[in-house]
Structure 1
Amino acid sequence: MSARGAAASPLAAAAGAPPLRIRRFNPEGFGFPRPAVPVRPWLRTDQLRRSAQAPGQALADAGRVVLPFAMGRYALQAALRASGVGPGTRVLAPAYHCRSMIDGALALGAEVAFYRVTPSLGVDLDHLQQLAAQRGRPVRAVIAAHSFGFGQSLQALLAWCAAQDVRLVEDCSHVLMHPAVPTGLGLAGDFGIASPNKFFPVEDGGLLWHQPQLAVQPADRSPSPLAELRGAWRTLQRARQGQAPAMPAAAPAALGHRPAATDALAAGDSESVCATPSDHFDEALARSRGQAGARWLAAHVDAPAMAAQRRRRYQQWLQAARQWPEVEALYPALPDAVVPYMVPLFLRSRVAERFEALKYARVPVGRWDDMAVSDCPVAGRYRLSLVHLPCHQAIDDTQMDWLLQAATHAMARLG
């Protein structure tokens, strides 16, 4: 392997990485109830099929080398390592991000710099070029994401990376990678990564693919039989929760009341300095192939039916959100090839109240409120204002009707 692709010492080197300011919303003290339905899809036997198709088969057919990992974050770390990322180097990442996107770079001891994103979460190439031109650690990789499953044009970025001898890592963790549902995404970069567990009813799963001329250290450890059993048990437990949801007996009109203010409620946001990965990063799993049972299950899910159902749920949320005051869809149109991961909605005013109203109404709403601080105005605004609603295939019609009523009432009460 060349010096560019040499492996760095993982967490031992992380202490040398420049610290990041992390801003985080702490939900403790708010008393948010359990969501009415799980935010991630659960196993439904009526959505399985006898014939098997591996999620990464289309990538292999397109000439990429496809490798399994335990999670997308560890696949991303492997891609960065193969790009030459390590102590004394830099990675450029989007300013609007979830923490798992930067964990791998921090684990490798690299500096992470954040380029600004456009309102549609595309790459601000001018700002990226400014960051790369700054003196200091050499840039070894750029991470570009197709957020929420909506593809971004990467041709200009790809040309820039080629001219600068910088590796492009295409983050497709929000993209359904399946041969039966072509999206046209994932083949632009030197490397690509995906998180099948975001779409399939499995407890783990990550994919890394790369151009055949590049050298990558594959995950070479298999989970123990006990880990396989635990994964199967958690899959069944989540299926039980989905089939017996926590939807209250009361009508949605009786929900959404905020408890009395406390110091914990007032605090909410906090800031810290960190140069190491988040608590969700487990170095012991970085070289694991992931669970064989999860790969088998993902290969037997009816992917075309899943895609159609996700698109249907997305459209239902869009139709309802058009009636909500001061709420705007980030992507108000759903192109034919898009299989949405979540439904991103922008809260234009009374952000804290609207977010909390959804939470207290037991709507499974989330957002990326645990994020590194940057000078990107879009990321600074979206961190709290852009909320994500689930549109996964396991939600049945009764559950969806309840969620739409609960969310509509919660938003209507705020005017």
Structure 2
Amino acid sequence: MSLDYWVFDPSNCEFPKPRVSILPSTLDCSASPNRNLALSDIGLRHFSRGRYALGEAYRLAGLDKQGALLAPAYHCVTMLDPALALGAEVRLYSLKSDLMPDRDSLDQICAQSDKPVKALLATHFFGFVRDFSWLKQWCDEKGIVLIEDCSHVLFVEQYQASGAGLYGKFIASSPYKFFSCADGGLLYMPEASFLDGLPTESAGFLAELRGIKSIIEKSRLPKISTDDIDLIDWQLESITTTAPRPWSDQRTERSAQSMQYSLALARTAPLRSSRWVVSHSSVKNNITRRQENYRRWVQALSDVPNCHGLYPDIPPNVVPYMFPLYLDTPMPHFFWLKQLGVPVWRWDEMAISNCPVAADYRLHLLHLPCHQSLSEVEMAWMFAAVRKTLAIPEAGVQ
């Protein structure tokens, strides 16, 4: 099948590189590996990325050219790529404003699908673990395999976020998003026998060397200084006095996976160095720092105009992946933030659906880092840059 996508093309905008790392960049290792494993080794398979773990989950769920996948309308394209690589049909279900699945949409799409729905992907967005018990019952009643997407959740051998992985027949996660490693994906299944005969191939020697080099280089990235905070006003004055550079928002049709999904890597195991970093990193510090940084984002932006945090309250059991910030006017505020080098991310390449929330969040919802590697100066610089930028009136630009 083919899907229509909206693709944001910033190539003419000449955005500088982010001045702060979006993902963890410094090692936080203990002398011995963590041994209080939360998951059974026999129910695990390791991959180079979470997208390939998802691909195996889709395949084992029976997805093929004769079947359909139900996936959230708000998504990263790599959530859909593995299904498209299998030739399956993808149906996008609507979400509510808090990114919970809309049951009416699920009922309608399932009833209208001209192919049997084999699997449903349910995502715990931004690390906020959801109660999918009703969704599990809905899937069971219809004979659909529920797959839990924990790519935004701290879900590794050493730690299973409270409430995550309770309902899915398959659980896929992305450890590299939570640790300073070069790669890492995880497929977990409580019924371990389904993973029998699922081999993965080790990365080559040169790939291992490149992974180690990447870890070292990330830890040596130039750091923000207090002088950079003092320069924000001057930089904004320069940026905001000229019109944003031209950009394009293109509609395109795609019948296969994107360039971000490589069939050659679908069965590749993560680097040994990546697994070492995950197994030796301090999970306690990871959790504490992320929660602290998230709460600091909430406080820093509580009185800032033209925006609001999607989730202003963080429950004790949540280990946040990013801080989601809704911009009232992404044009021009998103552009100004990018010109400053603020590490903002968003899913602006997305398959088109009839979900108004997904259409809105595509350009309006930013993902801001709150990981454990952020220094006090980096946090202060980001707070100042976002506060000062969003305080500038958008002057009627939409």
Q: CA deviation at 1:51?
A: 2.2
Question: The residue matched to 1:357 in structure 2 has which SS?
Answer: helix
8 Å CA contact 2:224–2:381 kept in 1: the answer is no
For residues 110-149 of structure 1, the aligned pairs below 5 Å read 110-149=88-127
Partner of 2:184: 205
**Letter matched to residue 29 of structure 2:** L
Q: Is the counterpart of residue 224 in structure 1 residue 224 in structure 2?
A: no
- Residues 347-393 of structure 1: CA deviation (Å, up to 9, x unaligned): 12x22111112112221011100100000000000000111110011
Rate the CA distance shift 1:141–1:246 in 2: closer, same or farther, 3 A: farther
Corresponding position: 1:366 with 2:349: no
**Contact kept? 1:361, 1:410, Cα under 8 Å:** no
Task: Find the counterpart in structure 2 of residue 41 from structure 1.
Answer: 24
Q: Which moved more, 1:249-258 or 1:159-168?
A: 249-258
SS in 2 for 1:133: helix
Residue 88 of structure 1 pairs with residue 88 of structure 2: no
- CA shift, 1:159, in A, is 0.5
Task: Tell me, yes or no, if the aligned pair for 1:181 and 1:307 is still in contact at 8 Å.
Answer: no
Cα distance in structure 1, aligned partners of 2:34 and 2:284: 11
The offset of 1:225, in angstroms, is 0.9
Q: Identify the residue that residue 2 of structure 2 maps to in structure 1.
A: 19
Q: Read off the aligned partner of 1:34 and give its amino acid letter.
A: K
Which one of the candidate residues 345, 348, 362 is aligned to 2:325? 345
Give, in whole Å, the separation in 2 of the partners of 1:304 and 1:131. 42
Q: What are the residue-to-residue correspondences of 1:61-76 with 2, within 5 Å?
A: 65-76=43-54
Alpha-carbon distance between aligned partners in 1 of 2:150 and 2:188, rounded to the nearest angstrom? 11
- Partners of 1:39 and 1:258 in 2: how far apart? 24
Of the structure 1 ranges 128-137 and 163-172, higher mean CA displacement relative to structure 2 is found in 128-137
Give the count of matched residue pairs: 390
Determine the structure 1 residue equivalent to 2:355: 376
Structure 1: runs of 5 or more not aligned: 1-17
Q: CA, structure 1 residues 309+167, in 2 after alignment: closer, same or farther (shift >3 Å)? A: same
Q: How far apart are residue 211 of structure 1 and its match?
A: 3.0
1:157-236 → structure 2 map (5 Å cutoff): 157-178=135-156, 179-180=158-159, 182-212=161-191, 215-216=194-195, 218-236=198-216
TM superposition outliers: structure 1 runs of 4+ over 6 Å = 244-247
For the structure 1 residues 181 and 398, does the alpha-carbon distance in structure 2 shift closer, same or farther, using more than 3 Å as the test? farther
* Secondary structure, aligned partner of 1:59: coil
Contact between 1:91 and 1:140, CA under 8 Å: does it hold in 2?
Answer: yes
Q: Report the AA paired with residue 21 of structure 1.
A: D
Q: Does 1:240 align with 2:220?
A: yes
What letter is aligned with 1:148? F
Q: Structure 1 residues 94, 53: closer, same or farther in 2, change over 3 A?
A: same
1:325-360, Cα deviation, whole Å (9 max, x unpaired): 021111010100001000001112x22111112112
Tell me the secondary structure at the aligned position of residue 367 of structure 1. Answer: coil
In structure 2, the partner of 1:319 is 299
Deviation at 1:221, TM superposition (A): 0.6
Asked if residue 60 in structure 1 is aligned to residue 60 in structure 2, the reply is: no
Q: Deviations over 1:178-228 (max 9, x none)?
A: 445642211211000000000000111000011326523524210011111
Distance (Å, rounded) in 2 between the aligned partners of 1:24 and 1:189:
31
Match of 2:31 in 1: 50
TM value normalised by structure 2: 0.93
- RMSD of aligned residue pairs (Cα, Å): 2.0
Letter in 1 for 2:39: L
For residues 240 and 226 of structure 2, what CA distance do their matches in structure 1 show? Answer: 19
Pick from 345, 353, 377: which aligns with 1:398? 377
Identify which of 133, 138, 142 aligns with 1:155.
Answer: 133
1:267 CA drift (Å): 4.0
Distance 1:401 1:261, change over 3 A: closer
Asked whether the equivalents of residues 48 and 301 of structure 1 are also in contact (C-alpha less than 8 Å), the reply is: yes
The answer to whether the aligner puts 1:308 opposite 2:308 as a matched pair is: no
How many angstroms apart in 2 are the aligned matches of 1:84 and 1:99?
21
Q: Secondary structure at the match of 1:58?
A: coil
The change in CA–CA distance for 1:213 and 1:399 in structure 2 (over 3 A counts) is closer
